[in-house]
Amino acid sequence: MQRRRVMLIVETSLIYGREVLRGINRYVVANEPWSIYVDLRELVVRPPAWLDSWDGDGIITRSTTPNLAEKLKALHIHTVDLTDIYGDQGLLHIGTDHEAVGHSAAEHLLERGFRNFAFCGFTGHNWSSRRKDGFRNVVENSGYQLLDFESPWDTTLAQTWEEQQALLCQWLEKLPRPIGIMACNDMRGQHLLDACRRVEYAVPEEVAVIGVDNDELVCELCDPPLSSVMPNPQRIGYEAAALLDRLMNGEKIEPKSILIEPIGVETRQSTDVLAIDDPLVAQAVKYIRHHACDGISVNNVLKEVPVSRSILERRFRKYIGRSPQSEIRSVQLKRVKQLLRETDLPLDRIATLAGYEHPEYMSVVFKRVLGETPGQYRSKNPNSSTGKQ
């Protein structure tokens, strides 16, 4: 049987594109092999000049070339689009849920007690605007306002690096402090951290910064290392390959957009702080985050802080908007979600590691808070570390 010929127009210069390719490879390894064309490319590089005459079976593309979608539709080759720089292009599309990325960043900063928030993005990029919208929704629904700064992302502009950073510094100096800032991606996060150093703002004590993509090399090169929201490009690649296979097998799938939620947040030094004005609440929150998965209760917390339960409850609701018990539960559920995503451990072992005495109770709490069972959550978030689906 002749192998199907598939072209991958996916960048190899960025961590996101490489992880997409890794996900595609996982699918191909587990199914019938394809004859694949892929070259080393940047996101902005045009597709091969001979694409118009290529007689292949399928294409997966993340190309940012204008009007490429119309050309691909005219070729009548089965195509799955992963591009997120434009809106609906009339192709079957799968990509990151950018609003959910913004939600994750906002929740991360809210958990650290921040009351001032800002977003730093790039103009003219759909993905940046959608991340800002998601971030803004959570911030404003929590009773706060959002300040934002955007500038073009184009290295061919007449503005030098120093001129661009000077504008960013001027914006930073007008912001209230302490403040939590979401950068639209890790590159923008690096820009922000450089600007904080120039104006001598302490990170994370005065300004906490979180990026997106979790490009480990970029994040670790930052000073201090940059916290980052982790999208799920491996899953996007895997699902894109599965969709393309269905199309090439003759299945009719109407053009639609499928969005994949982020995995979570990789916390590094740039947000590793509690911006809580009440030292007692800060001490209690720190204790909970270190020991919630040891199976502690509010009584254990009260042994660490010298106040009555009613005072602790009142101060928690004033400064972080929830009860001590809710904080314990939140930390435990985050651990459950992490273990479901990253391991193949059975539920009874996960319950033990997350501080639950009974897995049945853990499942009840998980379903009540998240609206789905642990099994449903695991099936939607395959374990990329083992390659299993």
pLDDT (mean) for 211-215? 96
CA separation, residue 170 to residues 122, 163, 178, 201, 226 (Å): 17, 11, 16, 13, 22
pLDDT of residue 49: 81
Q: How far is CA 97 from the centre of its chain?
A: 8
Of 81, 350, 102, 58, whose CA–CA distance to 237 is shortest? 81
pLDDT (mean) for 235-247? 96
pLDDT of residue 384: 46
CA distance 228 to 230: 6
Helix ranges, the chain (H): 15-30, 68-75, 98-111, 126-141, 161-173, 186-198, 216-221, 233-248, 279-291, 298-304, 309-319, 324-342, 347-353, 359-370, 374-380
Phi, psi of 61 (to 5 degrees): -130, 140
Pick from 66-70, 122-126, 143-147, 280-284: least confident: 66-70
pLDDT (mean) for 307-336? 92
Structure tokens at 105: 């960043």
Pick from 29-43, 118-132, 182-196: least confident: 29-43
**Structure confidence by residue, pLDDT tens digits, 160-198:** 889 889 999 999 999 999 999 999 999 999 999 999 999
DSSP secondary structure of 152-218: ---TTSSS-HHHHHHHHHHHHHTS-SSEEEEESSHHHHHHHHHHHHHTT--TTTTEEEEEES--HHH
pTM for the full predicted model: 0.83
Peptide bond into 178 cis (omega under 30): yes
pLDDT of residue 389: 39
pLDDT of residue 87 exceeding 70, the answer is: no
pLDDT of residue 266 exceeding 90, the answer is: yes
Helix/strand/coil for 346: coil
47: DSSP letter: P
CA distance 287 to 266: 20
**Structure confidence by residue, pLDDT tens digits, 226-239:** 999 999 999 999 99
pLDDT of residue 153: 67
Categorize the per-residue pLDDT at 19 as very low, low, confident or very high, splitting at 50, 70 and 90.
Answer: very high
Domains (range + CATH), the chain: 5-96+233-261 (3.40.50.2300), 98-231+265-271 (3.40.50.2300), 279-380 (1.10.10.60)
Share of the chain above pLDDT 90, in %: 71
pLDDT of residue 388: 41
Share of the chain above pLDDT 70, in %: 95
**Structure confidence by residue, pLDDT tens digits, 337-369:** 989 988 999 999 999 999 999 999 999 999 999
Contacts of 76 (CB under 8 A, 6+ apart): none
Structure tokens at 341: 């995503």
- Read off the amino acid at residue 348: D
Pick from 39-43, 74-78, 255-259: least confident: 39-43
128 versus 90: the higher-pLDDT residue is 128
